[in-house]
Amino acid sequence: MSREGQLAKNTLIISFGTFLPKIINVITLPIITAYLTKAEYGQYDLITTLVFLALPITTLQIQSAAFRFLIDYRNDFEKSGEIISTIVIYAFFTSVVSVIVISAVLQGISLEMRILIALYFLLDLLLAVAQQITRGLSLNKAYSVSTIISSIVSLGGIVVSVQFMGQGLSGVMLSMDIATFIGILFLFFRIKMWQYIRLKNFRKSTLKELLSYSWPMVPNNLSNWVLRLSDRLVITKVMGIEANAIYAVANKIPNLFVTVQSTFVYAWQENASLSVKDSDVEEYYSNIFDSIFRMLVGIMALAVAGTPIMFVVLIRGDYDEAYYQMPILFMGMMFSCIASVLGGIYVAHKKTKSVGITTIIAALCNLLIDIVFVRFIGITAGSVSTLVSYILLSVYRMIDIQKIQKIKYKYKTICLWLVVLVLMCVLCYLNNFWLNVLNFVIAIFVVYFSNKKLICGIPKKIKNKFKRKDVK
């Protein structure tokens, strides 16, 4: 199978494990916003985001090393066992220490919530390790199935505990704990983890090599935390927990765009790593960047045009102010996707320090804008800081990556489509019925002309496929 075909296949497989769970999460959004108070929803958002912060610090991001290093040793059972054993043993001991620390830090809340939060952190850490090991072993189907199972169980638990039993935030957290645990069990038995894990296979030298790759990803993840959480913390501090709830809701639909990005990036990291030593790697990377940019333009055009409908259908409660943040956030997510695609090339070359440095620069910019402007323009400061920081991150990486890998960019095409998307975001912001209709028409043209080659090639591929069947 060609590199492009393998990339498309992996993207399709992983999409089930990323996009479907996000759809399930969107389905739960009306339930959570309807049955939790704004204060509870704000607390829920902060808990999940703070866990996102703590995980890379605890593990030194060693799970990312599991994926990248196992790719190089897929046909070497002994070396794979050494890598997996080292990672699992390290992660186990660090997780135990972390749970003890979390329990001590959370003394100010009820014992029930402390237990639920500590369990959520522990299980989320173990699931992250198991999933990256699964991807490193090229078991992408198992990875996707695990996320789907966890999401379905979580949805069922939240519906029962919140809507029918009225348990509120504690019910949501308990449902998430159970769902994560089931996801871990599935992967443990699916990849037969016990075949790889041996105490005697733990190697200090291997741990040192893995951590030398993974630890630079910690500042990268912390910077990502600043990019995602600083908005919420500053808004909460200056405007209160209810304002944070509004901003969190505003991010929910644009974050679906990130789901599309993460689906591709997961597959792209694997494909880029396997292709990094090919003789035509410059041409291949350049073509992939152009193709994915065009697809992202088409997806975003549909997302922006569909925002008025999605907002009415998916959001419940008094969150009207959130709508006007979404066009800005959509543009921010667009540049986040571009930066992530370029980040896959850093990973392929094992240049994790470059990933961290570029993200730190963007995070500092994000935090500065939040602090300076939140008192003047309210929660819009969070949206603007997100957009500006991701633009900076994308541009910096486009330039910096040329030091390790030459990429040919089609600047005129990039600028043209960005101007069109900005116009669509303005029309979406105005939120007039006829302008919304116009936006939808524009979106159709954008999807077609930005991906004309791909769309026109689909009927030809289908026709050729049927011809091959007739010959057989």
pLDDT above 70 (res 232): yes
Mean pLDDT for all residues in the chain = 81
Question: Is there a contact between 220 and 359 (Cβ–Cβ < 8 Å)?
Answer: yes
Question: Is there a contact between 368 and 384 (Cβ–Cβ < 8 Å)?
Answer: no
Output phi, psi for 366, to 5 deg. -60, -50
Structure token pair of residue 324: 């006007």
pLDDT above 80 (res 420): yes
249-305 tens-digit pLDDT: 888 778 766 666 677 777 777 777 777 777 788 888 888 888 888 888 888 898 888
Question: Is there a contact between 260 and 299 (Cβ–Cβ < 8 Å)?
Answer: yes
Nearest to 349 by CA among 436, 253, 281: 281
> In angstroms, rounded to a whole number, what is the distance separating the alpha carbons of residues 131 and 139?
9
56-89 tens-digit pLDDT: 778 788 887 887 788 777 777 888 888 888 888 8
pLDDT band at 458 (very low <50, low <70, confident <90, very high): low
Place of tokens 């959130």: 322
**Domain for residue 241, yes or no?**
yes
Number of neighbouring beta carbons within 10 Å of residue 46: 17
Number of neighbouring beta carbons within 10 Å of residue 73: 16
Answer with the residue of higher pLDDT: 228 or 292. Answer: 292
Q: What is the DSSP letter of 318?
A: S
Question: Is there a contact between 345 and 401 (Cβ–Cβ < 8 Å)?
Answer: yes
Q: What is the pLDDT of residue 349?
A: 80
Size of the chain, expressed as the number of residues it contains: 472
The percentage of residues in the chain with a pLDDT greater than 70, rounded to a whole number, is: 88
Nearest to 142 by CA among 170, 184, 84, 108: 184
93-146 tens-digit pLDDT: 888 887 787 777 776 677 777 778 888 888 888 888 888 888 888 788 888 888
Question: Is there a contact between 40 and 170 (Cβ–Cβ < 8 Å)?
Answer: no
> In angstroms, rounded to a whole number, what is the distance separating the alpha carbons of residues 128 and 250?
27
350-405 tens-digit pLDDT: 777 777 787 888 888 888 888 888 888 888 888 898 899 999 989 989 988 888 88
Q: What's the N-to-C CA distance of the chain in angstroms?
A: 20
Q: What is the DSSP letter of 142?
A: H
**Domain for residue 81, yes or no?**
no
Q: What is the pLDDT of residue 442?
A: 93
Q: Which residues of 192-217 are buried (b: 16+ CB within 10 A; e: fewer)?
A: ebeebbeeebbeeebbeebbebbbbb
pTM, 2 dp: 0.70
User: Which residues, 6 or more positions from 49, have their beta carbon under 8 angstroms from its beta carbon?
Assistant: 225, 228, 229, 232
Range of the domain at 461: 223-472
> In angstroms, rounded to a whole number, what is the distance separating the alpha carbons of residues 164 and 159?
7
How far from 168 is each of 28, 52, 78, CA to CA, in Å? 13, 22, 48
**Domain for residue 4, yes or no?**
no
pLDDT above 70 (res 212): yes
Q: Where are the alpha helices (DSSP H) in 74-167?
A: 77-105, 111-136, 140-158
> In angstroms, rounded to a whole number, what is the distance separating the alpha carbons of residues 316 and 245?
12
**Domain for residue 346, yes or no?**
yes
134-157 tens-digit pLDDT: 888 878 888 888 888 888 888 888
Number of neighbouring beta carbons within 10 Å of residue 410: 13
Domain count, the chain: 1
Nearest to 154 by CA among 22, 287, 279: 22
**Domain for residue 282, yes or no?**
yes
**Domain for residue 31, yes or no?**
no
**Domain for residue 162, yes or no?**
no
3-state secondary structure of 410: coil
pLDDT above 70 (res 457): no
**Domain for residue 193, yes or no?**
no
Structure token pair of residue 116: 């639920």
Distance of CA 416 to the CA centre of its chain: 27
Angle, vertex CA 247, rays to CA 245 and CA 251, nearest 5? 115
